[in-house]
Amino acid sequence: MSLWQASGRNGGRDDHDADVTSALRGIAASKLYLLSPCPSICKLDRTISMVETMEEKPSKPSLRAKANKIRILRCKNLIAVIENPEDIRNIGAVVRNVNALGVEKAYIVTNKNIIPDDWEVMRNKANLIAYSASAIKWSFVKTFPDTEKCLDHLEKNGFTSIVTSPHVKGKNNIVLHEANYTKYKKLAVWFGNEKTGISALAIERSAACVSIPMVGIIESLNLGTSSGIVLYEITKQRRKFQERLAEKVAEKTKSNGSV
């Protein structure tokens, strides 16, 4: 039985860990050997990461073709910034959300050696590949040593920053789904540290602080989760705006041509 048959799947790499794990648990007891689509044989009780390397990988040209096809859906001039993240798994989750939701770039502010500065090195790091479900290979990611340098870079390039927090912070507090995110031509959305949240400096130099309403006992959402929710709303609005703009331009070009 192949891995994909065992896991009940026949292609794609996303979100397969749970399926693969349970499939392996189901057949591991019999101590069978697994013959993967590539000509390797390994014992079933090896780790998932080893199994992952044995999966049938979609060929590079087909992934490249897909990347080219979806480029048009990406939200231009939208950057997600993670400020001083401590857990590499959260970086992976945010990069995955950035890629999946069509955010143009991810910036990471860190003075710890949690992630390499060089993207070529970053995209080949096994843990980042695993935690981002390979999104690291397909997303623009840049690091900054501190918040000030990142803000300076963004402002120099005409970006408006907004921060996110479960708490009321700064002068202009908005609820995620009540705001319009298309009024900023270039927008950077900041996510804070797992324990301390967003910094005072980032709040001070931002146009607004966005909250996802919290109605439970827990103080906040996890960094990866909150980035998914916030970026979903923002990309939804900005993509629609971008599409309408493209339609208008196409109409104008057509009518100019027909005169």
In the set 191, 202, 208, 238, which binds ligand SAM (CB under 6 A)? 191
When asked if residue 86 is in the footprint of ligand SAM (CB under 6 A), the reply is no
x/- string (CB under 6 A) for ligand SAM, residues 140-179?
Answer: ------------------------xxxx------------
Q: Is 197 in the site for ligand SAM (CB under 6 A)?
A: yes
Q: Label the pairing between strands 187-191 and 209-211.
A: unpaired
Per-residue contact track with ligand SAM, 45 to 84, x per CB under 6 A? Answer: ----------------------------------------
Q: Is 88 in the site for ligand SAM (CB under 6 A)?
A: no
CA distance 38 to 14: 19
Amino acid at 81: V
d(CA 78, CA 188): 6
Rounded CA-CA distance 121/127 in Å is 12
Using CB under 6 A, which of 87, 221, 236, 241 touches ligand SAM? Answer: 221
Pick between residue 44 and residue 106 the one whose CB is nearest to ligand SAM: 106
- Taking CB under 6 A as the binding criterion, the range among 4-12, 105-113, 120-128, 206-214 that sits at the site for ligand SAM is 206-214
Kindly tell me which of 97 and 165 has the beta carbon lying closer to ligand SAM. Answer: 165
Which residue intervals of the chain are DSSP H helices?
3-7, 17-28, 48-54, 60-70, 88-101, 119-122, 126-131, 147-156, 200-204, 223-258
Among 84, 99, 226, 235, binds ligand SAM (CB under 6 A): 226
Span near ligand SAM by CB under 6 A; candidates 64-72, 96-104, 150-158, 214-222? 214-222
Task: Pick one of 21, 36, 160, 220: the residue that binds ligand SAM (CB under 6 A).
Answer: 220
Measured CA to CA, the distance from residue 248 to residue 163 in angstroms comes to 31
Taking CA atoms, 174 is separated from 103, 177, 181, 185, 246, in Å, by 21, 9, 11, 19, 29
Stretch that binds ligand SAM, among 22-30, 120-128, 130-138, 211-219 (CB under 6 A): 211-219
Contact of 163 with 209, CB cutoff 8 Å: yes
Task: Give the separation between CA 96 and CA 138, rounded to whole angstroms.
Answer: 9
Q: From 198, 225, 219, 230, select the one nearest 89 (Cα to Cα).
A: 225
- The tokens for 168 are 């009321």
Residue 192 found at the interface with ligand SAM (CB under 6 A): yes
Residue 184 interacting with ligand SAM (CB under 6 A): no
CB of 39 to ligand SAM, least distance (A): 44
Q: Strand 160-164 vs strand 187-191: parallel, antiparallel, or unpaired?
A: parallel
- The yes or no reply on residue 228 touching ligand SAM (CB under 6 A) is no
**Residues contributing to the site for ligand SAM (CB under 6 A):** 164-167, 191-192, 194, 197-198, 211-212, 214, 219-223, 226
